Every structure is written in C-alpha cells, then in structure tokens.
A and B are shown apart, each in its own frame.
Chain A
Amino acid sequence: MRVLMFGWEFPPHIAGGLGTACYGMTRGLARNGVEVTFVMPKASGDEDKRFVDVVNASDVETVFGKVDSDAEDIIDKMSFIHIDSNLVPYLSPEDYVTYHDEFVKTGEKRWETGDVWSQRYTFSGKYGANLMEEVARYAMVAAQVAKNLEGQFDVIHAHDWLTYFAGIAAKRVSGKPLVVHMHATEYDRSGENINTQTYAIERAGMHAADRVIAVSNLTRNIVIEKYGVPADKVVTVHNAVRFAEKESEAPERGVSDKIVTFLGRITFQKGPDYFVEAAAKVLKRVPNVRFVMAGSGDMMNHIIRRVARLGIADRFHFTGFLRGADVHRMFQLSDVYVMPSVSEPFGISPLEAMKSNVPVIISKQSGVAEVLDYAVKVDYWDVDAMADAIYGLITYPALSQMFAKKGLEEVTSLKWNNAAAKIKSVYEDVIAEQTRINR
C-alpha cells in the first residue's frame, strides 16, 4: 500500500505535537509495510529553487539526528518531497499577517513560536501575502505533485487544516480517497471565538474527505457536533509516543523540596491560572514544596501578578521559555506534573513526564485522559481536586511510587506501531469502499 501524505517537517525543525506525531506515525506505517511519499512545506527563501524539491530520507533531519542512523527499515519505504512554502503548523491567519508585515518592514527572516518545543523558522517574503493565499498556492503545487506521481499512490492523507486544500486538490487530480487527520480543532485553539476562515477550511477538508481521523474521542465529538461530519466517517486513533533510546543522566537536584511542574504555553487553552490557584491551596498546608511554571505565553504577566498577589512568589518559580534539553531536565527534576488544560485534543507532554518517572495529574478535558489509567484525572476548573491530588502525590510516597512505576509501564506500551496499524486499516477501508463504488 502506498500513501501520499501531506505532513509537516520532522523535529527539530518543527515540533509540538504535529511534527513529532508525523514522525512517529510514518515510522509506524513503514513498520507496517506502508510506503509513504511525504510532502512537506519548507521555506528555502531561495528564489532560484524549484517549487518542489524531492529529497532522500537520509537527508531529512530529525530530532535524533539524521533519519538513517537508526531507521534503515523506513528508508526504502519512504520518500520525501519538499514544497517551497512559508507554512508552519499552528500558524493562525493573524500570526501570518504579523510575520509578513514584520518581514516587509525589517527584512527579518526569522521568528520564534511560543511553543515549548518550538524552534526557529525561516520566513521569506516571496510567498503569499496572507495565510489563505499561501494555503491556496500550496494546494496548487500539491495538485501538480499528485499529477506527477499518478499511479504511485493509493490513498491521500493530510495533516492539519493548512494542508487540507492540498489534500482536496490531490484527490480531485488523482481520484484517490482522502483521509484527513484532526490534530486540533479551531475550537481548541480559540475557544468559542473561532476564526471563521480556519473553521471553513477545516470543515471543507473533513466533508471532502472519505475518512476523518481524530486524535481523541474528545476531538471526535467536536468534529461531529460542531462541524457536522457524519459520525460513521470519523475514527479515533490515539497518538502514541516515541522516546529517544538513550536515557540521559538525571540532573542533580538543587533543592530538597518537592517540585510540582506545569510545562506548556501559558495561554488560556492550557489552564495555567487553575494551576496557580491549586498551588496556593497546597502551599497553605505544606511548606516544603515548590511550583514551577515552565513556558511563556500571552497570560504570563497576568499569572506573575496573580502569584505575587497570592503571596507565594518565594515558592512559585518561572523558568521562561525552555527548549530541548532543558525541557527534559525540567521533567527529570519534577515530582508531580500537572496539565490543567481547558481543552487539549491530545496532549503529549504528560506522556513525556511519565517516561521520566513522574506521576501526572491531567485534566479530564484532554484527549490523553482517554488512554491513560495511571494518571490522576480532574476537571480543569476543580482547583480543590487538583490541590488535593498534588497534596496526595507529594505527601504519600506509596501513591506517587505506584503512579510513577505503573505510569512508565503504561506509557511504554503506547506504541506508534499499534496506532499505525489502525491508520492502515482506515486506509484499507477507504480503498475498499472506492473500488466497490468504481466497480
């Protein structure tokens, strides 16, 4: 079976859930015998370059070095195509305009995203003047790619709304079935105040698709309720997680106090304010605990002021934006990890915490809550329950040890191979349906 996949560049170039998920998924698919032609946008910023750049798997960088170092098995199953474009995941139309204006004004080519894992991107002014224009341009190039590859793939798979038009275009050109993958909905990103253009593209992509894959039942319900997609078209395939083989040494601890960590963008979606309120409640009861908020975001100053007003600033620390090794170090230093997200389609960070032997508390409003048993689950707004769980995990060693040990086992069993097998069966279904119709 052969797939034409519109995905996102692998870590370290992008990351957050999307790049990491694409990487794990393609590896899993390759292991399941699926051949993947992977199309991704990449801004070369170089005027002479051709629109499309076909690269070798061994030329694609990943977070763990070049792909070929530990993955010979996938090299012959995958080929990569770069489309010259400014698109990056999680880009909103507003952001795009900001960056574009900035570029026009200053000629500055780089920016940073607010995500904890994020890296720097190159931004070039030669592409579309706004995000929608760029999405459309990307779709046209994608159609050409599909045409060139005619007969070389059986199914199309598109990740994230930015590539949905590309997926639709490829489907029209080739007549092959389309699967779209919902990693996050506009409702997760913006609450109820959605960007209607984004919503319209997401909706169009899902309605044009033969199947929609949602990363959690939570997301699946949103897709069905808010986008009007027929329920039998939407399949949940939970993300998995892949870890670097080498285990780095645990950093030396500076403080003897217990450390409770929040790690993520400090934005409304992630529920940082609930973490602060819970921290204040815990600190009233136990003195020897410190809270750490790692990350940055538009709510950061608000949170700092709140911490000062609650009078807990000597026990509540901010690390600012962390990258790469520091993220890992932060997990290793933690005794409890809390993810109080208001809305989280999946949420991969608790899995990373569990991998570092850290017990986790997650909100019931996160997709990852559906796959974890050994995590304390609370409603994000239930500050008392959150404080209670934190208190329990730092006060009773038996409890935290049980969560840490079982959690590690649990998270280790979440393998991309299994998720990829489910995705493969989705492919098989849509291909079978199409042959039935064509017959």
Chain B
Amino acid sequence: MKTVCFYFQVHQPWRLKTYRFFNIGKDHNYLDDLTNRAIMQKIARECYLPMNALFLRLIKESKGAFRCSFSLTGTVVEQFKAYAPEVLDSFRALVDTGCVELLCETYSHSLAALSSKEDFKEQVKRHAAMLKQEFGVKPKAFRNTELIYSDEIGAMVGELGFKAMLAEGAKHVLGWKSPDYVYAGAGDQSLRLLLRNYKLSDDIAFRFSNQGWCEYPLTADKFAEWLTQENGEVVNLFMDYETFGEHQKASTGIFEFMKMLPKAVLKHGDLSFATVSEAAARHQPVAVLHCPHVMSWADEERDVTAWLGNDLQNEAFGKLYAMKDKVKALHSADFDYVWNFMQTSDHFYYMATKWLSDGDVHSYFNPYGSSYEAFINYMNVLSDFEIEVEKALAAKRKKAKKQ
C-alpha cells in the first residue's frame, strides 16, 4: 500500500509600505495596509475560498479517504482575521473533519532556525499557541520555513517534542536514495523525515500549465498513473497553496484537476491518502539521512542563498537579530507584533540578487522594483523600530528606578 501525502503551505507576509528616511522617528506605521488587504482578498477569492470549499467536498464525497495537511503561518492567520475572516472559518471547517492535519512551523515564516536555538524555539512556541487558540489543535508534525533543514535543525525540532518533520528531497543530499520513503533524522533519530518528491510536486505546482512541456496537458488519470509507478512507500507532494488559482490560474484547469485527482488515485487499489503524521507513523524509516549543511526547497540550488546569499541580506539579518534581547526585555505585545512581522523571510527574499534560474518565483507578489529598494526600505523601517525600542527601554528603566 503506497501513501500519497499532500501538504500545502499557506503564507502571506505583512508587506512594508514605502518608508523613507524622512519617516524615521516620526511614523511608526510600517505596513502597506492597502496592498496587504488587496492581495489577501484577491488570493482569498481566487484560491483559499474556492480551494477550501473543494477540499471540504472531496473529503465528504470520499468519506474521509482524501486527507491532506496544511501549514498556516502566524502572519497569514493575522491577515485572515483582519481582511478575510471567512477564510479562517473555512480552514476551521476543514480541520473539524478530522481529515486535515495542521503542521507547526515558525510563527512568522521566519529564518529563526538560522539565527539561534533560542529565537527558533520562541517562534515555534508562538505558532503552536496560535494553533491551539485558533483551531484547538496541538500540532505533532513540523515543517520549517521553506523546508529549511539540517541535522542541527532536526535535533532542535525533536527536542521540541515533534515526531515528524518535512524536508526537501534534495538530490545533493539523497544521492541515489529515493525520496519516497520515510527517513530518520541524523540529529535526532526518533524524528521521522518526509521528503518532498520535487519532480511530481513541481509537475503540479510549476509545469501544470506549461504548454511547452511534453506531458501537457496533465490529467488526473495520468498523474495517478505516475504515482503508482513510483518505487517507494510514500509520495510526498508538497507545494504552496497559492499554486491553485494564483500561480496556476483557474483558467488552466487546475481546479478541475484537483477535483478529479482523489477519485483517480483511489481507483488504484494500492494508493491511499494520509496526513503527514499518519504517513510518518505508517511507514518504518529505511535509513538515517545525514544533512550536515542547510538545505531548503528553494531554487535550483536547494540552499538558503535566496534569503542569505548576499551582503544586503546578511546585513539586514544580522542587524535584525542583534535587537532580539532588547525586544524581549520589553515584554510588550505591540513590540512583539512588529518584531514578528519583521522576521518574515519574504523581506529577505525580496533582497535576493540571484534572479537567473528562478526569477519568476522570486517575483510573485514582490512589491519592490529591485533588491536594493527592498533593502533600503527594510533598513529604514528597522531603524525606526530600533529607535522606538530604545525609547521604550529607557522609559521602562526609568519607571523601574522610581519604584
């Protein structure tokens, strides 16, 4: 019996407004409310709402045979609440069927795993608390931002009590091995790893509408046939949820494809769906996977250079996390809110200068004209935030002295 494991990433960053040097010290509203709202409502209309309705129907029609997993970042949930509460309700309805698992991740879709253990744990705990509050669930499986993984990160995740974690089925890590098995992490061998089958995942996420692709058009039956041909125990199809209706527009037929897929898959007696935790529990790990260097699911290189690959990104990242102790010392919800959305990896992604092979992906919803603009804007906001933090700290110290 082969397992098909679908997982969808749901994330939107809080986009910063054009924040000029003249604003520093005066203007503490950093977000582009109009753009954030417009993008959120557009994606809700074109992707989240129709897709959630479709999945709900598929689950009911298949009597729970269709199952899948989601990861919703803290920032996207904040935006649901602000601009599209009906989307949050539709996710709750999905979770309530018992056929949808929610994964834990970093609250802000951040790169905290690359900063320090302390930052990482804080972000994960914050996300788990959000899931508890909004959905009443305690997550058992973990996915890190952009599937960033290394032995060290795996060890941190195991320490936090998670049983399973997602990672990229990167060729340079797997070598001759197949991604279609469950592996054990080298940092924590009790942690089970599910590796993305990037070929089959990208067939849906990137190639689906490509008319130059020799397999175009992709039908549900054809795809199900491919799934049966995979040698292995579990096929992991991980992709951005915005694939449906955004990256692949409704006119490409992506919704019809997904509508037909469960039936086409279940027609084959040897295929079944499972959530991440179910898939990890169902199959024994076949080997320990060693990954001493950090990998991710991004770009041709499957590394983290899309976020921390040039001087601009390293500088912004260093300056941001240099502030963490001060922000923490404030214990203020307002400052934590800004602190969290500033950590979102997208800000660093916009500063990338490697546009050669994956330029298209980098330009999805990118509000900036160039990486330099992105950097300047981010640093201006960060400068103002730092001034505000210092002011608040000074006020706090003064108050403490009085008492």
Contacts and interface: CB of A to CB of B under 8 A. Distances in A.
Contact of A313 (B21, B310, B379, B387): B379
B62 to A, nearest CB: 52
A309 B315 contact: yes
A255 B25 CA distance: 5
A77 interface: no
With most chain A CB atoms within 10 A of its CB, the pick from B314, B316, B319 is: B319
Contacts of B23: 254
Given A252-B26, A254-B25, A319-B22, A313 B372 contact: no
Interface string B359-393: 00000000000101001100110111011000000
Nearest to A252: B26
A308 B383 contact: no
A309 B20 CA distance: 21
Contacts of B379: 313-314, 317
B22 A329 contact: yes
Interface string B301-335: 00000000011101110110000000000000000
Nearest to A314: B319
Contacts of B315: 307-309, 311, 313
Interface stretch (A119-127, A298-306, A343-351, A389-397): A298-306
Nearest to B18: A320
A292 interface: yes
Contact of A304 (B22, B319, B372, B380): B372
A296 to B, nearest CB: 10
A227 interface: no
B319 A254 contact: no
A318 B382 contact: no
A254 B22 contact: yes
A253 interface: yes
A186 B383 CA distance: 41
Contacts of B386: 314
B129 interface: no
Contacts of A252: 26
A317 B21 contact: yes
A301 B20 contact: no
Interface in A223-265: 251-256
Contacts of B375: 304, 308, 313
Interface in A266-301: 290, 292, 300-301
With most chain A CB atoms within 10 A of its CB, the pick from B20, B23, B372 is: B372
Contacts of B294: none
A300 B25 contact: no
B24 interface: yes
Interface in B126-168: none
Contact of B316 (A313, A315, A318): A313
B26 A254 contact: yes
B292 to A, nearest CB: 27
A308 B21 contact: no
Contacts of B318: 311
B311 A305 contact: yes
A308 B24 CA distance: 19
B380 A317 contact: yes
Contacts of B380: 317
Contacts of A314: 319, 379, 382-383, 386
Interface string A317-350: 1111000001001000100000000000000000
Interface in A175-227: none
Contacts of A307: 315
B41 to A, nearest CB: 30
B312 A305 contact: yes
Nearest to A293: B21
A317 B380 CA distance: 7
Nearest to A255: B25
Contact of A308 (B20, B25, B311, B384): B311
B320 to A, nearest CB: 9
B21 A319 contact: yes
Contacts of A329: 22
Interface string B14-58: 000000111111110000000000000000000000000000000
A239 B218 CA distance: 72
Contacts of B310: 305, 308
Contacts of B376: 304, 317-318, 320
Interface of A: 251-256, 290, 292, 300-301, 304-305, 307-309, 311, 313-315, 317-320, 326, 329, 333
18 contacts: A252-B26, A254-B23, A254-B27, A255-B24, A256-B25, A304-B372, A304-B375, A305-B310, A308-B314, A311-B318, A313-B319, A313-B375, A314-B379, A314-B382, A314-B386, A317-B21, A317-B376, A329-B22
Interface of B: 20-27, 310-312, 314-316, 318-319, 370, 372, 375-376, 379-380, 382-384, 386-387
Given A254-B25, A307-B315, 13 more contacts: A251-B22, A252-B26, A301-B372, A304-B312, A304-B372, A305-B312, A308-B310, A308-B311, A309-B315, A313-B315, A313-B319, A317-B383, A318-B21
